[in-house]
């Protein structure tokens, strides 16, 4: 899971727990493909996706607020650096 932590700064220990929970549900479904395990996997996938989506949205919201602050105080260097990283599609951790 180190690749998630390196590339996605919003991915924390709580997300790692959700990721492990999804992994366990997948293993259970593979070992016993009953309807209850399939339903459990679908429910867990939905929960994990929702959590990841909300976590990423909160992270991006905080970064946008930081960019707005840099714009207001006219910190052009950080503002330009962030806009370059957004255009390249890379992580916003350089801000």
The pLDDT tens digits of the residues spanning 10-56 come to 888 899 999 999 999 999 999 999 999 999 999 999 999 999 999 98
Confidence bin at 84 (pLDDT 50/70/90): confident
Q: What is the mean pLDDT of the chain?
A: 82
Q: What integer is the mean pLDDT of 70-83?
A: 77
Query: Cβ distance 16 to 1 under 8 Å?
Result: yes
Residue entry with tokens 């932590």: 5
Q: Which residues of 48-69 are buried (b: 16+ CB within 10 A; e: fewer)?
A: beebbeebeeebeeebeebbee
Q: Is the pTM of this model over 0.75?
A: no
């Amino acid at each position: 899971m180190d690749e998630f932590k390196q590339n996605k700064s919003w991915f924390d220990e709580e997300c790692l727990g959700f990721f492990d929970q999804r992994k366990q549900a997948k293993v259970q479904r593979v070992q016993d493909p009953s309807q209850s395990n399939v339903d459990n996997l679908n429910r867990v996938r939905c929960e994990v996706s929702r959590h990841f989506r909300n976590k990423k949205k909160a992270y991006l919201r905080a970064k946008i607020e930081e960019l707005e602050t840099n714009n207001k105080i006219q910190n052009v260097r950080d503002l330009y650096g962030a806009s370059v990283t957004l255009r390249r599609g890379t992580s916003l951790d350089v801000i």
